[in-house]
Amino acid sequence: MPIIKQYQVQMYLGLFAFFVARFFEVSTYYLVAEGIDLIGELFKGETGEFTVTQITVGIIGCVFARFVVVSYARRAIRRIGIAVSYDLRQSLYRSVLTQGPEFFAKISVGDVMTRAIQDITLIQRFIAFGLIAFVIMIYAPLFGVSAMLMKSASLTLLIVPLLPVIFIYAVKMADEMGRSSREVQQKLSELSEHTQENLSGIRTIQAQVQEENEVARFWETNNEYANAFYEQARINSLMSAWMPFFASVAQLVIVLYGGHQVMTGQISVGDLVFFFACLSMLLQPIRMAGMLVMLVQRAAVASERLFEILESEPEIQDVPTGDTPEVISGGFELRDLSYTYPGAAIAALRDINLTIQPGESIAIVGRIGSGKSTLLKLFTRMLNTPRGKLLVDGHDVNDYPLTQLRGQISQVLQDAFLFGEPIFNNISYDDPERHLELVWDAADSASLRDSIEEFPLQMNTVVGERGVTLSGGQKQRTALARGLIRNAPVLILDDCFSSVDTETEEHILSRLKRLREGKTTILVSHRISTLRHSDRIIVLDEGEIVEMGSHEELLAKDGAYAQLERVQTLGEEEEVLAG
């Protein structure tokens, strides 16, 4: 309703136009009935209240006026449907972009896509067509019954007993339609989720020769959706069959009793024709009841599913205090920082105490699952950082606006995600108007220039969905260039050299050291060759800091870091001997 409210003027004008249209419709029926009676009187040599010309002009005028008014009304209501669906889609997209990992653990991407497309379409259809049907259900009986009572109260009252029967049946079927619609939408979400997951993992499916197995799994999901849809069609078919039956019973009653009244002279032939026309207007909503119930119930389920997302509170609340500095210098202080993922029994991080000075270069190393990526996500509040545990330049990280925090802390994630757009757009994603020379400079810093120049279209080369046309190393370097081009006060690199050879890595790190002089850099890596360039190295194990110091200091301690260095050095020697 808040969304529709902004279009209430157009809606009220449209509803009033439908009211006027019904007036012209009843007037047309009245003039036709008068014309029939006039013809009978002319055959008898009598004259009527109106002339044939007057009645003809009146009918043409009413039909034309109704055409104009209905055309305006339908256009106005359908435009509201389009506008509401547009607003809902915008709100849904904005809401999804603010959600965190807990949200996507409950609602899959495929399910979100179904709600954004199918559910909003159902709401649009309800407003554009259901609202019109609802108006017909209100105005048609209002005008129809009023006109019928004027002609014959006794004849009108004969159809009254049918109305409670129709109402009870419609309520019963509406309840069944609601349950069926919810099942259909749920199965459609599962179908979309299955499709999206398989298309994203198409290379794995092909590599494991699982095409036939996945087709069989898809058949099961598709079959469940089809069966749910068949059940909905069955309910709708029943309503579509029974509602016209009730209408036919009403027409039969009018034929029998109305014919008797004509024969006894209580009403004229024109009155009976007028009565039948008004009855048709009255029965129109009954015939449409099945469609309206389906539209209402499907839209109700769709609204419920949509507002499950729209009303979801973002895990990461953006409530800045306004007391933080406008520019982050890059100093961090971690005070007994611990973090446990929702639903997890074991903490991912435990009692992390660490101070990072502005301009310092910090490296983090540890086994898989030791909490490295979790720690990096807390710096930019990609996870819900506990209050009072992480300070940025002396201020709680929660006090900073999210746009400032993530705008001035450039983070290159472990998963090198690329958009299916040209390389230029991927590197300069945050500012599409950036000068081409700056983009090339960033590509140079990421040792990507030679690779780009090999492509016929160079910077205009479209990389395909998720960067499918690039190698793993090229994708990582493109993502790195995207992080470097921002020249942010703080740069976080989450194991973004894993697919890059050591020679290229050395070239990137040497340029990185010059570019990042005086600026804070935090990187995660498993390679000693990467770690040794940093001022300090943090060794994590099972969520705790077990060692800290420079490369030389940690080697002298002969602990976990020294053991890692020996393993990697031995591996390199074996490769040289094998070569």
Dist CA 397 CA 317 (whole Å)? 12
- Domain 2-310, second-level architecture: Up-down Bundle (1.20)
**DSSP string spanning 287-332?**
HHHHHHHHHHHHHHHHHHHHHHHHTPPPSS-----S-S-SS----E
- Predicted pLDDT at 576: 37
Q: Are 260 and 275 in contact (CB under 8 A)?
A: no
The rounded distance, in Å, linking the Cα atoms of 465 and 134 is 44
Structure tokens at 396: 């709680």
Predicted local distance difference test score (pLDDT) of residue 290: 66
Residue 338, sorted as left (phi over 0), alpha (psi -120 to 50) or beta, turns out to be beta
In the chain, what are the domain boundaries? 2-310, 332-347+362-388+410-578
The size of the chain, in residues, is: 579
Assigned token pair, 77: 């209501």
- How far is it, in rounded angstroms, from Cα 62 to Cα 35? 14
Q: Which two tokens stand for residue 208?
A: 């494991």
Lateral strand order in the sheet of 395-396: 349-356, 332-339, 390-392, 395-396
Taking the whole predicted model, whether its pTM rises above 0.85 is answered as: no
> What is the architecture, at CATH level 2, of domain 332-347+362-388+410-578?
3-Layer(aba) Sandwich (3.40)
Q: Do domains 2-310 and 332-347+362-388+410-578 have the same CATH topology?
A: no
Q: What integer pLDDT is reported at residue 289 of this predicted model?
A: 67
Tell me what pLDDT residue 466 has. 65
Residue with tokens 């079959």: 223
Q: Is 567 helix (H, G, I), strand (E, B) or coil?
A: helix
Strand partners, 524: 364, 494
- Measured CA angle at 45 (ends 40, 51), to 5 deg: 65
Round to whole Å and give the CA distance between 495 and 502: 14
Q: How far apart are CA 244 and CA 162, in angstroms?
A: 12
* pLDDT value of residue 44: 67
The CA distance from 24 to 139, in Å, is 12
Q: Tell whether the torsion through CA atoms of 463, 465, 470 and 476 is positive or negative.
A: positive
C-alpha 47, offset from chain centre: 68
Phi, psi of 410 (to 5 degrees): -80, 120
Say how many Å lie between the first and final Cα of the chain, rounded: 72
What CA–CA distances, in Å, run from 382 to 102, 281, 374, 497?
11, 60, 9, 22
What distance in Å separates the CA atoms of residue 473 and residue 497, rounded to the nearest whole number?
8
The pLDDT value recorded for residue 577 is: 35
Contacts for 422 with CB less than 8 Å, ≥ 6 apart: 457, 459, 460, 461, 462, 463
The three-state secondary structure class of 354 is strand
- In this prediction, residue 512 carries a pLDDT of 78
pLDDT of residue 287: 65
- Residue 251: CB partners within 8 Å, gap ≥ 6? 276, 279, 283
Q: Report the alpha-carbon distance of residue 462 to residue 472 in Å, rounded.
A: 16
SS3 528: helix
Q: For position 575, what pLDDT does the model report?
A: 44
**Range list of β-strands (E), 63-210:** none
Phi, psi of 349 (to 5 degrees): -135, 145
| pLDDT, one tens digit for every residue, the chain (579 residues) | 778 888 888 888 888 888 888 888 888 888 887 787 777 776 766 666 777 788 889 889 989 999 999 899 888 888 888 888 888 888 888 888 888 777 777 777 777 888 888 888 888 888 888 777 777 777 777 777 777 777 777 777 777 777 777 777 777 776 777 777 778 777 877 777 777 777 666 766 766 666 778 788 888 888 888 888 788 788 777 777 776 777 777 777 777 777 777 777 777 777 777 777 777 777 677 666 667 777 777 788 888 888 888 888 877 787 888 788 888 888 888 888 888 887 778 888 888 888 888 888 888 888 888 888 888 888 888 888 888 888 888 888 888 888 888 888 888 887 777 777 888 888 888 888 888 888 888 888 878 888 888 878 888 887 766 666 677 778 888 888 888 888 888 888 887 776 677 777 777 887 777 777 888 888 888 778 778 878 888 888 888 888 888 888 888 888 888 888 787 776 554 443 344
Q: Give whole-number Cα distances, 538 to 337, 373, 524, 546, in Å.
A: 15, 13, 9, 8
Q: Which residues contact 372 (CB under 8 A, 6 or more apart)?
A: 364, 365, 366, 494, 495, 524, 540
